[in-house]
């Protein structure tokens, strides 16, 4: 049990002052009535007062937003891991209109969808320009992956080291083999590249050796590119220096072929997910606690109880019965 806004529970103290005033008034009324020889007041009024006070207390608890929390356990592959390398070069900011989703926006959405296809495989996030930099090493928690992909991945963040007009260099993927991105015990190492295919020339021979299937690597690429896309400035005007490169599809296809993998277009993300599941295969798993606990909010239920209590305190039961009888007639 946790309280998301515990200080809001102080609102329950609002019930203390009127209740204390009522109790003092009741004692005074009983004392005066006894002196005059009158019968003490019936219990109904006391019940209504206590009910109203209880409603305020419950409403104060609702304001504290209590929630039941628990860390569900998940089954996690112990022999496999995935790294999603997302191209964050300037060309990934291209879109069909100034307000349309950019290539990067679509790549992040596809990364989350592909990650869900291998939910039991620990997965991480890295950015690619002329180097590969990690944002999240492979973890079992899908929610953590989605949050990092959505919030931490941005265009040229960090910027490339060089000043070339075209920053993306697929040769940098070789850093994955030497960068400690995968645990040593991992035998199936999935590398998922999400890019627009616009790269500087790449020597696939060296990459094929570093990311060889014989070393456990499985490669898949998804291209996000349309011929009518432009890179727009903050003013909404397109940048004159950018020109879409239709040869990116060939470049990416050659790269995937050299690494023993496959390349897909963004319209084939479903097929890419199927291929990724096949590449991940099956293997031993272990139980692990999810990094993000699940929460069941209780505030709506407490608010309903408070409303019912307050209603019963303000509206006598006899009046409710008379209202129902009138409605039936």
Rounded to an integer, the average pLDDT of 140-156 is: 94
- CB half-sphere exposure, 302, CA atoms < 13 A: 19
Question: Is 153 in contact with 135 (CB distance < 8 Å)?
Answer: yes
Residue 320, pLDDT score: 47
Read off the pLDDT band of 319 (50, 70, 90).
low
Measured from the Cβ of residue 138, the count of other Cβ atoms closer than 10 Å reads 23
CB atoms within 10 A of CB 76: 21
What three-state secondary structure class fits 14? helix
Contacts (Cβ under 8 Å, ≥6 apart) of 255: 170, 202, 204, 207, 221, 263
Separation of alpha carbons 45 and 204, rounded Å: 87
Per-residue pLDDT tens for 31-58?
776 777 666 665 566 666 667 677 777 8
Domain assignments of the chain as residue spans, ordered by start = 2-70+296-328, 73-289
pLDDT for res 63: 79
Is the domain spanning 73-289 CATH 3.10.28.10? The answer is no
What mean pLDDT, rounded, does the chain reach? 85
Is residue 325 pLDDT above 60, yes or no?
no
Residue 112: what pLDDT?
98
- Which of 117-131, 148-162, 187-201, 310-324 has the lowest average pLDDT? 310-324
Q: How far apart are CA 279 and CA 163, in angstroms?
A: 36
Bridge pairing between strands 66-70 and 2-3: antiparallel
Cβ contact 235:193 at 8 Å = no
Q: Is the pTM of this model over 0.85?
A: no
């Amino acid at each position: 049990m946790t309280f998301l806004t515990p200080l809001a529970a102080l609102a329950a103290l609002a019930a203390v002052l009127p209740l204390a005033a009522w109790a003092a008034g009741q004692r005074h009324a009983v004392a005066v009535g006894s002196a005059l020889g009158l019968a003490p007041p019936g219990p109904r009024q006391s019940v209504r007062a206590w009910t109203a006070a209880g409603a305020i207390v419950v409403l104060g608890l609702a304001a504290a937003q209590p929630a039941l929390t628990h860390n569900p356990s998940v089954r996690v592959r112990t022999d496999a891991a995935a790294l999603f390398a997302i191209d964050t070069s300037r060309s990934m900011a291209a879109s069909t209109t100034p307000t349309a989703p950019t290539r990067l926006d679509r790549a992040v959405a596809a990364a989350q969808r592909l990650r869900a296809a291998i939910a039991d495989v620990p997965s991480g996030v890295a950015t690619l320009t002329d180097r590969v930099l990690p944002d999240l090493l492979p973890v079992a928690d899908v929610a953590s992956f989605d949050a990092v992909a959505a919030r931490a991945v941005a265009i040229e963040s960090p910027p490339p080291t060089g000043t070339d007009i075209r920053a993306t260099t697929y040769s940098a993927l070789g850093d994955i083999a030497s960068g400690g991105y995968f645990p040593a015990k991992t035998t199936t190492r999935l590398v998922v590249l999400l890019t627009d295919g616009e790269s500087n020339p790449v020597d696939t021979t060296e990459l094929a050796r570093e990311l060889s299937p014989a070393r456990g690597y499985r490669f898949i690429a998804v291209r996000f590119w349309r011929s009518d896309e432009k890179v727009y400035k903050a003013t909404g005007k397109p940048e004159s220096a950018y020109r879409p490169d239709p040869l990116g599809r060939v470049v990416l296809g050659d790269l995937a072929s050299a690494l023993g993998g496959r390349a897909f277009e963004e319209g084939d993300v479903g097929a890419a997910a199927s291929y990724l599941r096949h590449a991940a295969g099956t293997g031993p798993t272990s139980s692990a606690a999810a990094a993000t606990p699940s929460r069941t909010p209780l505030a709506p239920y407490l608010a309903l109880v408070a409303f019912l209590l307050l209603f019963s305190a303000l509206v006598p039961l006899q009046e409710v019965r008379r209202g129902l009888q009138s409605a039936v007639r």
